[in-house]
């Protein structure tokens, strides 16, 4: 949820956004940010506020918030899934060729 603070150009002292209270993350992990950028959202601008609220409505559903509580950076399977995808690639190519040849015979 810290992305919503970051989009506004707020990079530290996270407290609350749209009723969501920060308990674990209170600042961005990056170094000093360029605060003179003009592409941060300004919630006083109606178009920016509308975009912010639309994004918030998509992301901050009750189910997603519960799912986010369970995400752990230490117990992910993406590296294993990536390895398996690459390890099985030759087999997938062979199956595709066999399937294509079978379709051509029909």
**pLDDT (tens digit per residue) in 61-82:** 888 878 877 776 666 666 666 6
Query: 52 and 83: one domain?
Result: no
Query: 83 and 62: one domain?
Result: no
Q: Which of 54, 48, 53 is nearest to 18 (CA)?
A: 53
Is 20's pLDDT higher than 80?
Answer: no
Mean pLDDT score, 79-103: 79
Tokens in use for 44?
């006083």
Q: How many domains does the chain have?
A: 2
- E strand spans, the chain: 16-17, 20-21
pLDDT at 56: 86
Tell me the pLDDT of the chain averaged across its residues: 78
Query: For the whole model, what pTM was predicted?
Result: 0.51
Query: 11 and 54: one domain?
Result: yes
Query: 41 and 59: one domain?
Result: yes
Q: How far is CA 27 from CA 9, 69, 96, in A?
A: 11, 18, 48
Query: 57 and 15: one domain?
Result: yes
Q: Determine the Cα–Cα distance for residues 1 and 93; give it in Å rounded to an integer.
A: 40
Query: 11 and 28: one domain?
Result: yes
Tokens 């300004």, located at residue: 42
SS3 call for 59: helix
Question: What end-to-end distance do the CA atoms of the chain give, in Å?
Answer: 54
Up-side HSE of residue 21: CA atoms within 13 Å toward CB? Answer: 1
pLDDT at 50: 92
Query: 83 and 38: one domain?
Result: no
Residue range(s) defining the domain that contains residue 100: 76-106
């Amino acid at each position: 949820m810290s992305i919503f603070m970051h989009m506004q150009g707020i990079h530290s002292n996270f407290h609350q956004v749209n009723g969501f209270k920060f308990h674990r993350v209170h600042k961005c992990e990056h170094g000093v940010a360029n605060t003179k950028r003009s592409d941060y959202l300004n919630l006083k601008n109606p178009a920016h506020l509308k975009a912010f609220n639309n994004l918030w409505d998509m992301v901050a559903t009750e189910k997603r918030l519960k799912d986010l509580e369970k995400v752990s950076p230490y117990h992910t399977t993406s590296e294993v899934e990536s390895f398996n995808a690459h390890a099985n690639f030759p087999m997938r190519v062979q199956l595709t060729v066999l399937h294509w040849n079978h379709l051509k015979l029909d």
